[in-house]
Chain A
Amino acid sequence: MAKISAGSAPFDPFVAAQVLGPEAPPISERGTFAYLRGHLFGSVPQVLLTLFGAWLVYVTIPPMIQFFITDAVWSGTNREACLPDKVGRAVGACWPFIWAKFDQLVYGFYPAAERWRVNIVYALGAVLLLPLLIQSLPYKRLNAIAFFGVYPVVAFILLTGGDMEPKGFLLSWLGLGGLFSGFPAVGGLQLGFWADYILSAILVTALAAFVCRAVAGPEAMRPAIRSTLVTFAVLAAVLFAADIDLGLAPVETRLWGGLLVTLVIAVTGITVSLPFGILLALGRRSNLPLVKIASIAFIEFWRGVPLITVLFFATYMLPLFLPGRLTIDGLLRALVGVALFASAYMAEVVRGGLQAIPKGQYEGAMAVGLRSSLMMRLVVLPQALKLVIPGIVNNFIGLFKDTTLVLIVSIFDLLGAMRAAFTDPNWATPTTLFTGFGFAGIVYFVFCFGMSRYSMALERRLDRARRH
């Protein structure tokens, strides 16, 4: 190689004489003083920002403490306790109003004698959910089955009272209801329905087996029969539990209200939207054109309409289109609307995560022989979902707060129950409104902040894998 001969400056050859060990950083880089200088008072703009921040804290926090705590009234039996004239001082929050309306805020118009059922649902939910969220506790699989599989059924039965008296299954729906009309009910069980159910199960299984045989050959028949029967068996267990008469008084959903409705809608929306959103996101990236188009159409439709429109449509217009004898519970309609709406948003968040996974991960998974379903489940989705935890939780929080919109279709969630409580002349005081909204705000904040903190902890824990 040609010698490069620029006139290099003279230098002394050098060889390190000893190995240098690590030392602590200089004192000026550590401690309170360095922190203050570095982060709060480093430069003129920084000083101004610090002062502005301090001023903001000064004008917001002390008045809030004054209103909600120091000037607040903590006990009383009616509005008299919170009227400044009667008390003889400035009055802040009127907490006795909240105490007096507390049951209404938590249960709505749920009959007082039956509220123990709601309490059991709350307690059971907490008992099952908490250990699921704490990573170090064992039996995650069992716990998940209990929470996602068994709990919704138990909650449904407890809240509605069960014994839902289904009229007919597939065959009746196809116009063959006359076959089963003479059957009696035993212990709350509609025998006519169950006869219909068993016949339908047999027919559908046979049909599935036939189709699979025609499409994929005889060896596909056995798994098809097995999975169809398992599906029917699981559905039967759920329906059986819902149909049997346990002696619980039925409570219509229009009596439900307050925090109960907020939680029912939010928890259902959250637990449905994530799996459904994942399926939609995978569908949107599918190679099968039909699946892809269907997913895109679904997502774009639900993202394109406002939630209020969805709720309004489901509540007031859907009944006009349905055949006369078919009525769907009002709360259920809102639930389905919210869940589908949330799923569409979730799908786009998950798709963002899927797109961030490099091609090499797919190739690595394929090269070790993983089929595409396993590749998605074991390699791609775990990484994609981890990436979009902030977006997922963002959706959860948004959904939790959007539940307040059900107010416009006359479903009284926490905020609705609160507004109903405002109308009570017995508690008409100058600060009732502020107290009520303040309290509702605190309740929403506690739930949303809880979700936010949990997601941050989850991110930190999962992040170990990426750190060096």
Chain B
Amino acid sequence: MTADAIIADVEKGAPEIAVSMSGVNKWYGEFHVLRDINLTVHKGERLVICGPSGSGKSTLIRCINRLEEHQKGKIVVDGIELTDDLKRIDEVRREVGMCFQHFNLFPHLTILENCTLAPMWVRKMPKKEAEDLAMHFLEKVKIPHQAAKYPGQLSGGQQQRVAIARALCMRPRIMLFDEPTSALDPEMVKEVLDTMVALAEDGMTMLCVTHEMGFARQVANRVIFMDAGQIIEMNEPNAFFSNPQHERTRLFLSQILH
């Protein structure tokens, strides 16, 4: 899709659009980390973003919930344009869940408290209700029996599943995953991916930065390849893997798919 068409879409405020980015640029100091990003994500779509380290893929999804600020261009999330307005940023963050490479669970709170914190303080949910909700999602990620433990007592895979449950407790419409399996022992990768697949099957809109190509083939509608701050190639998974167009993509895929 061309930039103009995307901008037109954004301006219409098409209700089926979850995220739209048009002409987004970002710099870290002098370093141009995102270069003219144009991307539209429809509701229910599942995107996998891959690319070499330093290509800006994490920065891209972190701009969507304003963990990073973009300097040029326009980002609209669930109909809300991201600007300096703190109220809008809060609104967006309530609707967008995120999982990190290093989980970022709160180590001083139990698993249950990790999950109930935001619903109670941000959504003003009564404690009992928040706990029921948390248990519901902990069951969904298959660790309800660990609710009373602290994050430090769980394995990496379990912690990442808790992080997913914690994000889901805010009932987000969009989920962002920033390399959710790259800090895990090989044995634990599958349990996290299974959870993400289940989430995809429920129709969640997902943007995943990951190098799990099996996962990409299984659930993604689209795979995006980034290099040097730019979107180099975007295609549906089968075509992307079997017939990459760009030279850089082919090189990258040959490096990671032995």
Contact = CB atoms under 8 A, between A and B. Distances in A.
B65 interface: yes
Contact of B104 (A364, A369, A465, A467): A364
Contacts, number: 74
Nearest to B89: A366
Nearest to A1: B258
A374 B121 contact: yes
Given A386-B108, A466-B152, A468-B152, A368 B100 contact: no
B152 A371 contact: no
B75 to A, nearest CB: 16
Interface stretch (A85-93, A187-195, A376-384, A410-418): A376-384
Interface string A349-369: 000000000001101111111
Given A465-B152, A467-B153, A366 B108 contact: no
Contacts of B100: 360, 363-364, 367
Interface stretch (B47-55, B90-98, B194-202): B90-98
Contacts of A465: 107-109, 150, 152
Given A360-B100, A361-B106, A466-B107, A368 B122 contact: yes
Nearest to B166: A368
Contacts of B206: none
A367 B97 contact: yes
Interface-central residue, A361, A363, A462, A464, by most chain B CB under 10 Å? A363
If over half of A's interface residues share one DSSP class (helix, strand or loop), that class is named, otherwise mixed; here it is helix
Interface string A372-402: 0010001100110010000000000000000
B211 interface: no
Contact of A468 (B103, B106, B153): B153
B146 to A, nearest CB: 13
A370 interface: yes
B105 interface: yes
Given A360-B104, A468-B153, A367 B121 contact: no
A468 B107 CA distance: 11
B209 interface: no
15 contacts: A363-B67, A364-B100, A367-B93, A367-B100, A367-B167, A368-B167, A369-B94, A369-B118, A378-B121, A379-B106, A462-B108, A464-B150, A465-B150, A466-B107, A466-B150
Given A368-B170, A371-B122, A467-B150, 10 more contacts: A360-B100, A367-B104, A367-B167, A368-B97, A369-B90, A370-B118, A370-B122, A371-B86, A379-B106, A383-B107
